[in-house]
Amino acid sequence: MTVWTWVDLALCVALLPVAVACGYLLLLTVLSWRRAAPVPPAPTRKFDVVIPSHNEELGIARTVANLSAVDYPASLRRILVIADNCSDATAEKAREAGATVLERHDTQKRGKGYALAHAFEFSQKDGFADAVVVVDADTVVSPNLLHAYGRRLEDGAHAVQAHYGVMNPTASWRTRLMTIALGMFHKVRSLGREALGVSCGLRGNGMCFTHAVLREVPHDAFSVVEDLEYGIRLGRKGHRVHYAWEAEVQGEMVSAEKQSRSQRQRWEGGRAQMRKLHGWPLLSDALKQKSGLLLDLSMDVLVPPLSQLVLAAVGSAVAASVLVWLSGGTAVWASAVAGFALASLGAYVLRGWWVSGVGPRGLLDLAWAPVYVVWKVGLMLRGPGAEKRGEWVRTEREAERR
């Protein structure tokens, strides 16, 4: 073999992590077909719908009203608002809207994870419900939400995730790109993972857990990404998260750069920490136990953010093209691997755009993607913010900026 052949093979080996990550996303893309929604059973399950809240006086009444209007017998559901370390009228507004309010004051243990643990403990001791549902304070839900959960619970599920979408996709090019991004990350990945029969993952909003699984796997997750953390714990205990694709929770996404920057830094920093703590141990345990559930969880954690993956794939393609030019066209294997990675990412992005429903305007907004990628890389280089572990960092709502 020539020197160029050896260089080509060496570059192929170097590109394997990128190709494997992109191949994983391609597999989920291929499997992400939309199936018919299952027929809901007659309602028998009782639900506590938990809204963890910190200084949400302006919007909490709307969220409670929206949840009060779901298509499910009122006698089988209850709305619990956790007013966690609030300094405003969140508790009063929630009570006026018809919710049961739990006020919590603890200057040391602050944050969504602690609020959820408090609510879950109350729900279990109180004995009204069979399962708890988590809905963020800036959210609207589809009327069929509890019916969708009931169907999965009747079929034996103990953890369920509804689709988590964007309430305000047309607010700006940034929110349209976020809608496409969540179409990829929340819908394409979740549908593909559901088809594989593994865990679809938890998204923090629109989650449902039975009391039985909370007793077996207590919700001791207090990081910034407590949903990802708890999903991993469930997987290690053999419980997969089922995906209720026909039901939806929609959260408000910020359109301003400053608020979006803070939010993304927290999310990306939290996932990076989970990647460091759990990625390779999950992969090692998956291979030892021959567990597809743990293998998928390890891939979900280890696959880097799309912005980093795109940069890696583009960089790989450039390096492979230079090698082809220097070798006079004899070194082509690295180009094939880089081409596979780019094609896989292209299919994944286009599928995310399609399922997002933003239409042709969203496709045009993908022209902003390079700007968004550079912005995301800048956030990565800055590193995570200085917030304490799991501390409440409230993102300013769009209505407050007007």
What's phi and psi for 136, nearest 5 deg? -70, 160
Q: How confident is residue 214, by pLDDT bands cut at 50, 70 and 90? A: very high
Which pLDDT belongs to residue 331? 80
Q: Is 12's pLDDT higher than 80?
A: yes
Secondary structure (DSSP) of 351-381: HHHHHHT-HHHHHHHGGGHHHHHHHHHHHHH
Sequence-ordered list of residues with C-beta below 8 angstroms from that of 158, at least 6 positions apart, any chain = 209, 210, 212, 213, 239
Distance CA 202, CA 189 (A): 12
Confidence of residue 369 (pLDDT cuts 50, 70, 90): confident
pLDDT in tens, 223-233: 878 899 999 99
Q: Is the pLDDT score of 397 beyond 60?
A: no
Q: Which DSSP state fits 47?
A: E
Give the predicted TM-score (pTM) of the model: 0.89
Residue 49: strand pairing partners: 79, 133
Q: What is the pLDDT of residue 336?
A: 94
Please, which pLDDT band fits residue 158 given cuts at 50, 70 and 90?
Answer: very high
The backbone torsions φ and ψ at residue 140, rounded to the nearest 5 degrees and listed phi first, read: -120, 150
Q: Tokens 């750069």 label which residue? A: 257
pLDDT given at position 270: 76
CA atoms within 13 A on the CB side of 53: 35
Residue 42, exposed/middle/buried by CB under 10 A (0-12, 13-18, 19+)? exposed
For the record, the structure tokens of 326 come out as 């220097």
51-60, 98-107, 230-239, 304-313: least confident range:
304-313
pLDDT at site 165: 94
Judge whether residue 18 has pLDDT over 70.
yes
Q: Which residue has the higher pLDDT, 27 or 256?
A: 27
Segment among 47-51, 173-177, 233-237, 245-249 with least mean pLDDT: 173-177
Judge contact between 63 and 383, C-beta under 8 A: no
Q: Are 218 and 143 in contact (CB under 8 A)?
A: no
Domains, the chain, in order of start with CATH, read 3-32+278-382 (no CATH), 47-263 (3.90.550.10)
For residue 260, give the nearest of 179, 171, 174 by alpha carbon.
174
- By percentage, how much of the chain surpasses pLDDT 70? 88
Nearest-angstrom CA–CA distance, 91 and 101 = 6
**Beta carbons of 55 and 25 less than 8 angstroms apart:** no
Higher pLDDT, 260 or 118: 118
Tokens encoding 346: 């292209």
